[in-house]
């Protein structure tokens, strides 16, 4: 029997329990750094040293993090479902937990690219994760993090739209649904596709009126989701 396809849209709340700072919550990263300075292409052009310093710190913070029970729960669900994950997160905790189909909308923290092209990537050495102005890619251009900044196109949005449009079940975890184009992905879900939204805070979407809300953290929410799916006998 063909497995049901579950497409998961994950955001910062997915990795919060792994110790990765979210951006928008109280004490989040945006309270300490203006987004236009450290996470936009214009900010990088104005002050590349500041942006590289910001992401060097993000990498050092990340190196001590591990997948949480939520990541592991999603990976375990591959035994029962055809799982596809579309994440706004730049960590690779989904992959570390064992998920085998992951689309990163906003890039990957532990990879670099040349400022001249985003088609060739260079893995970051965890022992030497820092980038500095003057560090060059093999093509002779400055290296930068493989991050999709504000003001840049989102190359993986079309593959993400395709995944959502083919979903049997859609699960949204730990995202404010405020950042576009990712927030607009709900509009591509089939009209008869059940949608579950997991977040400890109230999150409301105008895309659909039939969303099933699970107000819980990612780890607890995925446990409750698995129960709900079994009871619904999808």
CA nearest to 7, candidates 103, 79, 137: 103
Residue 171: strand pairing partners: 8, 196
Q: 106 catalytic, yes or no?
A: yes
Three-state DSSP state, 5: strand
Give the span between the Cα atoms of 233 and 72, in whole angstroms.
22
DSSP, collapsed to helix, strand or coil, labels residue 41 as helix
The 3-state DSSP class for residue 218 equals helix
Q: Alpha-carbon distance 99 to 86, whole Å?
A: 11
146 SS3 class: strand
- The number of angstroms, rounded, from the C-alpha of 74 to the middle of its chain's C-alpha atoms is 14
Q: What is the 3-state secondary structure (H, E, C) of 72-137?
A: HHHHHHHHCCEEEEEECCCCCHHHHHCCCCEEECCEEEEEEEECCEEEEEEECCCCCCCCCCCCEC
Q: Which of 45, 71, 106, 204 is catalytic?
A: 106
Tokens of 10: 């994950």
Q: Do the beta carbons of residue 131 and residue 143 sit within 8 Å?
A: yes
List active site positions: 106
């Amino acid at each position: 029997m063909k497995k049901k396809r579950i497409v998961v849209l994950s955001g910062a709340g997915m990795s919060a329990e792994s110790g990765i700072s979210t951006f928008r919550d109280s004490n989040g990263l945006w309270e300490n750094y203006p987004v236009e300075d450290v996470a936009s292409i214009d900010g990088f052009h104005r002050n590349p040293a500041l942006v590289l310093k910001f992401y060097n710190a993000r990498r050092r913070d990340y190196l001590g993090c591990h997948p949480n029970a939520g990541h592991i729960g999603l990976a375990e669900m591959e035994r029962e479902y055809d799982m596809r994950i579309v994440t706004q997160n730049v960590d690779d905790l989904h992959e570390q937990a064992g998920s085998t189909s992951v689309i990163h909308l906003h890039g990957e923290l532990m990879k670099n690219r040349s400022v001249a092209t985003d088609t060739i990537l260079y893995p970051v050495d965890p022992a030497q994760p820092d980038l500095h102005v003057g560090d060059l890619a093999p093509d002779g251009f400055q290296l930068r993090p493989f991050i999709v900044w504000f003001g840049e196109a989102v190359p993986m949005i079309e593959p993400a739209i395709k995944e959502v449009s083919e979903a049997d079940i859609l699960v949204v975890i730990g995202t404010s649904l405020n950042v576009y184009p990712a927030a607009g992905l709900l509009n591509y879900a089939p009209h008869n596709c059940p949608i579950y939204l997991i977040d400890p805070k109230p999150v409301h979407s105008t895309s659909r009126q039939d969303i099933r809300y699970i107000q819980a953290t990612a780890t607890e929410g995925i446990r409750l989701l698995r129960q709900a799916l079994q009871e619904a006998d999808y």
